[in-house]
């Protein structure tokens, strides 16, 4: 806001916006201590204008009274005119309320007063008292207007005084530099904060970010570290990087400083780590490495024995050359035996959808011996190593201490793992309480082809579920006889 007397010499221009009201709060006009004088004057002027509008006789429409030359000229005349009219209206009722001992209307008439004149629960008043109360209200308004005019005059004097006061001097914030900046080469004295901040941001910070990248790029660079704390050191392959370079290696790495520490550790590890050059021999080449740091690598061909192929019944071998000796050994029929505690057996209900023993639980047994390495303990499957004739045998012992088996049956057998076929099956029928179930099965001289897959299954069709119990056993034996 430019003061109106800005160019009026010798007055010292001061904006009323820079002067605050130091008086008390005036809730009736929403004026608070600390408001600018501009706001104070504006609120008082607004209030005064409102009162002047109320007191303006020309704002009231009195045409309904058909007044020609006797219209009220002042606000006081208007109030008196309205009082007279009210008194005339109060005399209209045929039986007005007249107090005992009174002289009657119009002075002693009891009339209903406006809400602002109600005192307690009394809503009526004599016409005389009502006129006096209205007059007092009008006088109070006039007195208030006079007080407000005094306050406005006082504020106007204060504003004039403030406008004539010298303009306030705002100190310049400064900072003392301990190093030079590109645009401020001198270190002597102090510099304005605005100059220092602009020089730092434009000539130092922006170029710095352009070279190093912003925080997002730096975070990505940190996450791209390829050597982890658990990687083994080149200097000491038995130690992890975080242990070999404890104190230098930073874990976890969340800053560029930490990542740089790890980079230095990797560089040191590469410089200090010894280089070993070795040759990997093959079945036909013998590699030799000598010397260093200029290494010499030589290769010698290994003489190869004649190619031979074993059969299902003959094992061929070749002695050491260059004069090779060929020997043939007849393969003794192989054998396999595996045994373990039976697996848990849930209850199964006989139905047309159950393939009986083929739907039993596969037993995963521990090898006792396996001359052909044909049994897989992880799957419970024995794969026929060679076409021939075999004897198959199994034994199952189950127990249910304290509860026992009551009814139904338990079936066990050696079955195909790739089809619905079976080789030997046996069962135990339960018709009375028993704590033990024993099942055996034997098949002699079965012809099997190479690759045939067998497994031992158990199917629980009794009245109780079986839980693996120490001392119980499931055993599978296979013997090649021809």
DSSP 179-194: S-BTTB---SSEEEHH
Band of pLDDT at residue 142, cut at 50, 70 and 90: confident
pLDDT per residue as tens digits for the range 331-372: 556 799 999 999 999 888 776 555 578 888 999 999 999 989
Backbone angles phi, psi at 295, to 5 degrees: -85, 145
**pLDDT for position 365:** 95
Most confident of 100-109, 296-305, 456-465: 456-465
Contact partners, residue 18, CB within 8 Å, separation at least 6: 36, 162, 168
Residue range of the domain that includes 466: 335-480
- Are 16 and 139 found together in one domain? yes
Number of H helices, E strands in the chain: 8, 19
Residue 105 predicted with pLDDT over 60:
no
**pLDDT for position 319:** 66
Name residue, tokens 């990248």. Answer: 213
- Are 193 and 81 found together in one domain? no
Band of pLDDT at residue 215, cut at 50, 70 and 90: confident
**pLDDT for position 310:** 65
**pLDDT for position 74:** 77
Predicted model pTM: 0.35
Number of domains in the chain: 4
Helix (H, G, I), strand (E, B) or coil at 162: helix
Residue 404's nearest CA partner among 431, 440, 441, 439 is 431
Residue 46 predicted with pLDDT over 60:
yes
Residue 269's nearest CA partner among 237, 292, 224, 294 is 237
Residue 392 predicted with pLDDT over 90:
yes
Query: Is position 283 within any domain?
Result: no
- Are 427 and 344 found together in one domain? yes
Query: Is position 303 within any domain?
Result: no
Residue 1 predicted with pLDDT over 60:
no
* Distance of alpha carbon 452 from alpha carbon 478, whole angstroms: 13
Residue 100 predicted with pLDDT over 60:
no
Residue 14's nearest CA partner among 149, 153, 154, 169 is 169
Query: Is position 15 within any domain?
Result: yes
Q: Provide mean pLDDT across the span 112-120.
A: 83
Whether 327 contacts 316, CB under 8 Å? yes
Helix (H, G, I), strand (E, B) or coil at 64: helix
Residue 305 predicted with pLDDT over 50:
yes
First and final C-alpha spacing in the chain: 120
Greater model confidence, 418 or 274 = 418
Query: Is position 289 within any domain?
Result: no
- Are 54 and 195 found together in one domain? no
**pLDDT for position 95:** 42
Band of pLDDT at residue 38, cut at 50, 70 and 90: confident
- Are 144 and 196 found together in one domain? no
Band of pLDDT at residue 449, cut at 50, 70 and 90: very high
- Are 194 and 248 found together in one domain? no
Residue 28 predicted with pLDDT over 80:
no
Domain final residue pick, 257, 272, 287 = 272
**pLDDT for position 473:** 96
Greater model confidence, 89 or 253 = 253
**pLDDT for position 111:** 77
Question: In this structure, how many other beta carbons lie within 10 angstroms of the beta carbon of residue 103?
Answer: 9
Phi-psi sector, 402: left (phi>0), alpha (psi -120 to 50), beta = left
Give bridge partners of residue 390 from the DSSP assignment.
446, 480
Q: What percent of the chain has pLDDT over 90?
A: 21
- Are 2 and 145 found together in one domain? yes
**pLDDT for position 314:** 65
Helix (H, G, I), strand (E, B) or coil at 426: strand
Give bridge partners of residue 26 from the DSSP assignment.
31
- Are 125 and 190 found together in one domain? no
- Are 238 and 222 found together in one domain? yes
* Distance of alpha carbon 423 from alpha carbon 415, whole angstroms: 6
Whether 21 contacts 34, CB under 8 Å? yes
- H-helix or E-strand spanning residue 151: helix 127-164
Contact partners, residue 423, CB within 8 Å, separation at least 6: 392, 413, 414, 415, 416, 443, 446, 454
Greater model confidence, 289 or 369 = 369
Query: Is position 302 within any domain?
Result: no
**Helical packing angle, 256-272 and 215-223, nearest 10°:** 30
Residue 283 predicted with pLDDT over 60:
yes
Q: Provide mean pLDDT across the span 452-476.
A: 92
- H-helix or E-strand spanning residue 163: helix 127-164
Query: Is position 236 within any domain?
Result: yes
Query: Is position 309 within any domain?
Result: no
- Are 124 and 159 found together in one domain? yes
Band of pLDDT at residue 91, cut at 50, 70 and 90: low
- Are 90 and 147 found together in one domain? yes
Q: Report which DSSP code applies to 467.
A: -
* CATH (domain of 459): 2.60.120.40
**pLDDT for position 93:** 44
Query: Is position 21 within any domain?
Result: yes
Q: Provide mean pLDDT across the span 369-377.
A: 93
Domain final residue pick, 205, 227, 259 = 205
- Are 101 and 189 found together in one domain? no
């Amino acid at each position: 806001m430019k003061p109106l007397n800005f160019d009026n010499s010798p007055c010292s221009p001061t904006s009323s916006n820079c002067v605050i009201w130091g008086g008390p709060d005036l809730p009736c006009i929403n004026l608070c201590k600390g408001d600018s004088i501009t706001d104070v004057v504006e609120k008082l002027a607004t209030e005064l204008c409102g009162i002047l509008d109320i007191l303006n006789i020309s704002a009231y429409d009195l045409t309904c009274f058909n007044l020609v030359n006797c219209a009220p000229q002042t606000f006081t005349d208007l109030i008196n005119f309205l009082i007279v009219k009210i008194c005339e209206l109060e005399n209209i009722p045929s039986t007005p309320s007249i107090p005992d001992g009174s002289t009657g209307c119009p002075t002693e008439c009891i009339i209903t007063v406006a809400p602002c004149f109600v005192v307690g629960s009394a809503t009526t008043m004599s016409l005389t008292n009502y006129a006096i109360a209205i007059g007092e209200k009008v006088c109070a308004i006039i007195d208030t207007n006079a007080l407000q005019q005094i306050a406005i005059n006082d504020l106007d004097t204060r504003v004039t005084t403030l406008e004539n006061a010298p303009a306030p001097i705002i100190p310049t914030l400064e900072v003392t530099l301990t190093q030079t900046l590109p645009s401020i080469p001198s270190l002597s004295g102090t510099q304005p904060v605005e100059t220092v901040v602009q020089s730092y941001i434009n000539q130092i910070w922006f170029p710095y970010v352009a070279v190093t990248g912003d925080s997002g790029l730096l975070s990505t660079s940190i996450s791209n570290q390829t050597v982890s704390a658990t990687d083994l050191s080149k200097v000491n392959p038995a130690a992890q990087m975080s242990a070999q370079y404890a104190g230098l290696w930073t874990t976890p790495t969340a800053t560029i400083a930490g990542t740089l520490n790890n980079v230095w550790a990797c560089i040191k590890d590469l410089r200090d780590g010894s280089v070993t050059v070795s040759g990997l021999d093959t079945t036909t080449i013998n590699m030799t490495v000598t010397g260093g740091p200029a290494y010499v690598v030589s290769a010698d061909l290994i003489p190869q024995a004649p190619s031979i192929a074993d059969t299902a019944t003959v094992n061929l071998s070749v002695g050491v050359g260059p004069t090779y000796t060929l020997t043939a050994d007849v393969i003794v029929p192989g054998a396999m035996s595996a045994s373990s505690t039976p697996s848990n057996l849930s209850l199964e209900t006989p139905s047309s959808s159950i393939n009986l023993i083929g739907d039993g639980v596969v037993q995963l047994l521990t090898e006792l011996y396996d001359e052909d390495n044909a049994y897989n303990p992880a799957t419970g499957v024995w794969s026929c190593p060679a076409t021939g004739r075999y004897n198959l045998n199994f034994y199952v012992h189950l127990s249910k201490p304290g509860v026992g088996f009551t009814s139904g049956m338990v079936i066990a057998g050696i079955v195909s793992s790739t089809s619905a076929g079976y080789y030997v099956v046996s069962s135990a029928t339960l018709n009375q309480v028993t704590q033990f179930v024993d099942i055996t099965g034997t098949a002699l001289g079965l012809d099997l082809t190479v690759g045939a897959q067998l497994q031992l299954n158990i199917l629980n069709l009794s009245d109780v579920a079986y839980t693996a119990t120490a001392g119980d056993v499931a055993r599978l034996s296979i013997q090649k006889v021809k």
